[in-house]
Structure 1
Amino acid sequence: MQVYEALVDLYIAGDGTETSTEEALACMEAAKSRSMIEMIFQSGQSLPLGEAGQSDLVRRIRDLREELNWYYHRIELEQLRPEEKSHQRLGSLREKAQLQEKELMRTLRELPAHERENATLEAPADFSLAKLQAHLPQDTTLVEYFSAGERLVAAVITRKEIQILPVTVLSRVAHSLQLLRFQLSKFRMGNEYVRRFAEPLLSATHSHLETLYSELIAPLRPFFEGRHLIVVPHGLLHFLPFHALRNGEQYLCDAFTVSYAPSATVFSWCQEKPASANLSSLVFGIADERAPQILEEAQSVAALLPKSSLHVGDRATSSVLREEGPQSGLLHLATHGIYRQDNPMFSGIRLGDGYLNLYDLYQMRLDARLVTLSGCATGMNFVAAGDELLGLQRGLFCAGATTLLLSLWDVHDQSTSQLMQFFYRDFLRTGNMAGALQHAMQELRRENPHPYFWAPFVLVGKLSDSTRLT
């Protein structure tokens, strides 16, 4: 990574020509794409094809995954114990699960080539600015941030122009982001606390959002064109709700519709992929004590979506997802996602019969124009909750999704249910995902003004083509 940072510095300090600017952007992309591709294409990442029983190794992998799901379930039950929670018992279960994970990874690496399936997201070719600009609509600006050491720079790209500009010092952003996360974490203290201190909570959060706006948006704002903004974060900026940053008078998402991308290369790949022609919808709802309203959310979403197939609780299984997922143009998963910072390959999504991890997602084939993961990672610390987005989005893109709707932090299940209804009603009417999310956030803000409630969700990937689904 330091090599790419040095090259970016070198090109930015160059003669300022279009060539040096494009080369700097290419290095920024190489650093980000390399991080993603190393995660996706590392040795042994793919699961074997076909039914269990093809070979001893395939059977061993099946058994290891079943054993892992058993450990994950026991760990979850232990964490939910109100008073009898045993840290020793929990530690023992986690240690045994980690041993199983290591054994699974070792076994996967032993698979011969003919028993593996490559991920569908191919390694990108050499970066092309012309290709990227061709994919940008006329009314769109793409902003790609990059941290080179302590300095933060940004490439501001429209269909006809590109500029790379200095932004701020990374330590100032890190400090403000830490303060913002601290404010959002206070919502775990319960409804009574939130009601009692509603005004100071909102005031403090606004202060941090305005500071971050002045650091990250204000230096670039004169160069934004059009009505839509694509944000490509880097490093700790992946934790940040750019759409909720404020200039003192309005949020960024009131001035622009906002979407995100892991890199400009991945954005171009998503834009190239044709929108799914499938009109059916698949809805999963896996509720628990931490999020009891997930069931109501799943039912209300299924009632809105065209040709919907609803599966809740124990019926929302991985086999149903494998069978119906490839024929579903819209996929809504109301459940919990987890990000494993110690071992990202075992990040996953909770289903009715266990956890669907990144190995499973890399093997799966989806044809959805939109995949929504409306749950959260309850119980994880706030830093890990942001990286949850990174782990799961990689797996879902590899499975074939082109646009994702995911949460940046642990979400409030009642406000999430309301936001999803607002979002889908508008999206089905207009076909515009970014516009629908903008309107849904504005509607929810009328009743719940704090960004904790209305701003956790981000739209990642392909810009919708405004094709109505009904």
Structure 2
Amino acid sequence: MTVHSVEPTVRRLHRDGVAAMAQGRPADAVRLQRAGLALLGFGLPIRVGASGAAQRPGPVEDGTTTTGGRYDALAGRLLISLAYAEAERGRTRYGFELLTLAGALIEPDDRGVLVQQRALMLLRTGRFTDALADFDEAIPLLGGERHLPVLCTTLLNRAALYLHAGRVRAAREDLASCERLAQRGDLPLVAAKALHNAGYCDLLSGDLPRALDAFGAAEPLFGRHGPGFLPMLTAARARALLSAGLAREAGRSLDGAVTEFARHRLSQELAEAELLRAQAALGYGDHAAAASRARRAERLFRRRGNDAWVGLATLARLRAQLPGSRAPGGLAARAAELAGRLRAMGLARDAEMADLLAARALVAAGRTGRARDVLAAIPRGRPNESLELSLTRRIVRAELAAAEGRRGPALTEIRRGLAVLDDHRSRLGSRDLQVGITALGRELAAAGFDTVVDGGSPAAIFDWSERSRAQAFGVPPVRPPADPVLAEALAELRQLRESLRTAELERRRVPGARTRCAELERTIRERVRRVAGPGQTVPVAGLAEIEAELAASDRVMLSFLTRHGRLHALLVDAGTVRMVALGDHASVEDAVARLRYDLDALTGRRLPAALDAAIRGSVTHQLDVLSRELMTGLRAELADRELVIVPTMALSSLPWGLLPELRGRPVTVSASASAWLRARRRPVPGERVPGEPVPPLLVAGPDLDQAEVEIGEIAKVYPGSRALTGAEATVAATLAGLDGAPIAHLAAHGHHEHENVLFSRLDLADGPLMAYDIQRLAAAPASVTLSACDVGRTVVAPGDEILGFTAALLYAGTASVVASVARVTHHAAAEVMTGYHCALADGARPARALADASLADPFAPFVCFGAG
């Protein structure tokens, strides 16, 4: 066989190898390019001489011939492609040696191809300055239609380099040119990569919804034209989640990407994913795991000879080691040396982070003068600065000021940092992103709290607690635009959930249904997260405003705080604020968990008398523990006044009305004092159309004993109300009835989803009404009662941000929600709820009506949230 006869096969192998590499399959790419070289007479393996230069072998003994120079150019093209594929498998030095051999074989017209490939390999090994020079040299050499695909990828890769350097505008220009040329040359995979990288531009610019939209648009293109890149899209979304403070969710998604990258031997992507995984662990406070992951990333990058990325991984490791470091001075020296290395490699933003880390370590070591010198040399801020860098800058400056006894400047820096965080939050339309982003300001809020507690008055402490808690309530609600994909996903999820509910009742399985539900929930989350925020926030209420409203309503407020493991309460009355030391937070958390477990157990099947008595005794004991830890020191202060409670962490799901001191007392629970005041001032909707008042809505869900009886009794209280029962109690009908209703009562099975709180739901005739559905309302109902089990439970994030079904109603604008924080029997719910609505119809406020009605059941775990 002659070389001439195999030339078409060689060219096909080369094309297939390039395609395999483009689809993220380097092992296949190596195999195909080597097969082509073998057919050209380049025997396997391609050898590297002792001098480091690659050597072309002689004739192969099976009768094929060497190229003899006639097809050297073709061999050179295969070597160029093989060089990159080998480098991507971790054989970086070998890849560069193959490029040297290729340079002696290619035609002059292919010089641009070789130079851009070398530039890409330099980029992938972190030699950014050299890579940029080669990219700039290659682009003018790649004119003409023949090299159009290579030109597209060159522009794409130079844009990636610009992104590393933070040059977003230059990156956008290259990506726009790349996408335009890719469309002209019918290169859909390259177009998808350009869209993907445009998402990174948006992410660096702080536009998270737009970034998620770009990643979402790229996904189907990758699915059709390059499935091997889907794990990279997963990593991109994880990076976006990290920028929104959702570190645990980012970590879970990265675990899958790490597995895929390892399976396909994508060593650079694997190392980057490990580094992201370290940053995720750092985000949720697992410093040991963060340091371990960062060390692994360092090893992987070092194996590739990628010094720049080694530096980034080292930075992550040092950041993880600072908390609890016994030698912060030594860590400061290592961070300062790293900053110099990163700056020399063109990574100015990362060098600044290393400098800030050094300054922070110096403050921890007590070397405040040296820390001040380091900070003075760092620029005050740059346009398009990342949120993380901006917040870190503020926390370091605040810690230095506090260490030097300059309390005012410390608080100024912290306020400015939280203002930056508020601005970013206001651009997000999804509540879970608004809640998640608070985690990024956790250290700022803690530093501010420590500063005011150490030297401030109770009034100052109250002001600070309001500035740093439940800030997502300060973002006006955004109604998502019409989205056919979202609507279809919601409809299918509802149908599947209904099928699962029916199957559970019939004790049969629905294969694949739960997996599909998880896929649909992911789709819905991602679609909703693309919604942009209103770009504005409502100011935090001042203490004088709160005191005036408390005086007008004759109430007293308890705002709970935790510091160094102990609970405290700020008692706010008309004209006074006092701070009262309470009990141990861990003991309270444990007692709340045990109490809810016991309350749940009492609502199960009929219990033996002895077991029932034991559980009731345990309930009494837990309430005694909570009374001792929470109410000691407050009993005399409270007298018999109505209460507004601003809880913290586990206290958000405590059935307050069961405490002996609060039995029969009106109690309102609100996420913050500001949220309570806004709810109090919210106008009550009354008409959808002028002259047509909206009737109260009463809904009975399926498979719930006494639900229709309960609705029938409550309907007698509200003549003219709209009752939905049986097949009429659909999701669409319920949402239509909720829209702007003055009063709504829903008696339906409820499900609190702790891991996916925005899918907490109520069962209706045609499927679940989910927390996600609530934000579709044009006008929130004024007062809602949920007599279902445990839908009053919430997941509490840093900053006492809350998520759940009840929280969704409050975020949407409902003034008061009465819901259960534990399971409740159908009979007890019907009895308490009927009494509640009778009192409400007689003019009582929700908190008073619930307090009176709950006397009918000693263990009714209902809570009044919102305005009360």
Q: TM-score, normalised by structure 1?
A: 0.80
Q: What do the CA deviations read for 1:432-457 (whole angstroms, capped 9, x no partner)? A: 32222222112x13xxx4x1xxx211
Instruction: Report SS of the residue matched to 1:137.
Output: helix
Unaligned 5+ residue runs, structure 1?
50-57, 379-383, 464-470
Q: What do the CA deviations read for 1:92-140 (whole angstroms, capped 9, x no partner)? A: 42222111222233334556x6xxx969xx7331341111112213521
Greater shift in the superposed pair: 334-343 or 60-69: 334-343
2:534 & 2:745 partners in 1: Cα distance? Answer: 25
The percent identity for this pair of structures is: 22
Contact persistence 2:676–2:867 (CA under 8 A): yes
Contact persistence 2:473–2:675 (CA under 8 A): no
Matches within 5 A, 1:177-216: 177-193=592-608, 195-216=609-630
Q: What do the CA deviations read for 1:336-376 (whole angstroms, capped 9, x no partner)? A: 33332222232333332322223321120345331111112
Contact persistence 1:329–1:367 (CA under 8 A): no
Name the structure 1 match of 2:683. Answer: 274
* CA spacing shift, 1:202–1:394, aligned 2, 3 Å: closer
1:130 & 1:410 partners in 2: Cα distance? Answer: 39
Q: Say which of 825, 829, 833 aligns to 1:420.
A: 833
Q: How many angstroms does 1:187 deviate by?
A: 1.7
1:326 & 1:186 partners in 2: Cα distance? Answer: 36
* CA spacing shift, 1:307–1:103, aligned 2, 3 Å: same
Q: Say which of 516, 519, 524 aligns to 1:104.
A: 524
Q: What do the CA deviations read for 1:58-101 (whole angstroms, capped 9, x no partner)? A: 2222211111112222332343344x4x5xx57x4222211122
Contact persistence 1:377–1:410 (CA under 8 A): yes
Q: How many angstroms does 1:403 deviate by?
A: 0.9
Name the structure 2 match of 1:337. Answer: 750
Contact persistence 2:759–2:771 (CA under 8 A): yes
Amino acid at match of 2:677: S
Name the structure 2 match of 1:252. Answer: 662
Name the structure 2 match of 1:467. Answer: none
* CA spacing shift, 1:325–1:107, aligned 2, 3 Å: closer
Q: How many angstroms does 1:275 deviate by?
A: 3.4
1:100 & 1:153 partners in 2: Cα distance? Answer: 43
Instruction: Report SS of the residue matched to 1:342.
Output: coil
Name the structure 1 match of 2:588. Answer: 173
1:208 & 1:268 partners in 2: Cα distance? Answer: 32
Name the structure 1 match of 2:155. Answer: none
Q: How many angstroms does 1:214 deviate by?
A: 0.9
Q: How many angstroms does 1:280 deviate by?
A: 2.5
Name the structure 2 match of 1:295. Answer: 708
Q: What do the CA deviations read for 1:143-176 (whole angstroms, capped 9, x no partner)? A: 1112234222211111211112221221111222
* CA spacing shift, 1:65–1:8, aligned 2, 3 Å: same
Contact persistence 2:567–2:583 (CA under 8 A): yes
* CA spacing shift, 1:171–1:286, aligned 2, 3 Å: same
Name the structure 1 match of 2:843. Answer: 430
Q: TM-score, normalised by structure 2?
A: 0.45
Matches within 5 A, 1:10-409: 10-14=451-455, 16-17=456-457, 21-34=458-471, 46-49=479-482, 58-82=483-507, 84=508, 86=509, 92-109=512-529, 123-138=537-552, 139-193=554-608, 195-224=609-638, 227-246=641-660, 251-254=661-664, 256-277=665-686, 280-288=695-703, 291-366=704-779, 368-376=781-789, 385=793, 387=795, 390-409=803-822
Structure with more contact order per residue of length (Cα contacts < 8 Å, sep ≥ 6): 1
Greater shift in the superposed pair: 202-211 or 350-359: 350-359
Q: Which structure has the bigger radius of gyration? A: 2
2:633 & 2:465 partners in 1: Cα distance? Answer: 20
Say how many residue pairs are matched. Answer: 415
Name the structure 2 match of 1:54. Answer: none
Contact persistence 1:143–1:229 (CA under 8 A): yes
* CA spacing shift, 1:230–1:336, aligned 2, 3 Å: same
Instruction: Report SS of the residue matched to 1:79.
Output: helix
Amino acid at match of 2:866: G
Instruction: Report SS of the residue matched to 2:698.
Output: strand
Instruction: Report SS of the residue matched to 2:778.
Output: coil
Contact persistence 2:835–2:853 (CA under 8 A): yes
Unaligned 5+ residue runs, structure 2?
1-441, 687-692, 797-801
2:716 & 2:577 partners in 1: Cα distance? Answer: 44
Instruction: Report SS of the residue matched to 1:349.
Output: strand
Name the structure 1 match of 2:413. Answer: none
Contact persistence 2:757–2:803 (CA under 8 A): no
* CA spacing shift, 1:271–1:108, aligned 2, 3 Å: closer
2:534 & 2:705 partners in 1: Cα distance? Answer: 38
* CA spacing shift, 1:68–1:5, aligned 2, 3 Å: same
2:601 & 2:530 partners in 1: Cα distance? Answer: 47
1:282 & 1:65 partners in 2: Cα distance? Answer: 23
Contact persistence 2:602–2:615 (CA under 8 A): no
1:198 & 1:350 partners in 2: Cα distance? Answer: 29
1:385 & 1:271 partners in 2: Cα distance? Answer: 22
Q: What do the CA deviations read for 1:249-270 (whole angstroms, capped 9, x no partner)? A: xx4123x321211211110101
2:515 & 2:736 partners in 1: Cα distance? Answer: 34
Contact persistence 1:36–1:394 (CA under 8 A): no
Instruction: Report SS of the residue matched to 1:430.
Output: coil
2:601 & 2:735 partners in 1: Cα distance? Answer: 39
Please state which structure has a larger fraction of its residues in strand: 1
Instruction: Report SS of the residue matched to 1:231.
Output: strand
1:11 & 1:311 partners in 2: Cα distance? Answer: 52
* CA spacing shift, 1:257–1:385, aligned 2, 3 Å: closer
Q: How many angstroms does 1:207 deviate by?
A: 1.8
2:566 & 2:443 partners in 1: Cα distance? Answer: 13
Contact persistence 2:740–2:778 (CA under 8 A): no
* CA spacing shift, 1:375–1:152, aligned 2, 3 Å: same
Contact persistence 2:449–2:465 (CA under 8 A): yes
Amino acid at match of 2:497: Y
Q: Say which of 8, 16, 19 aligns to 2:449.
A: 8
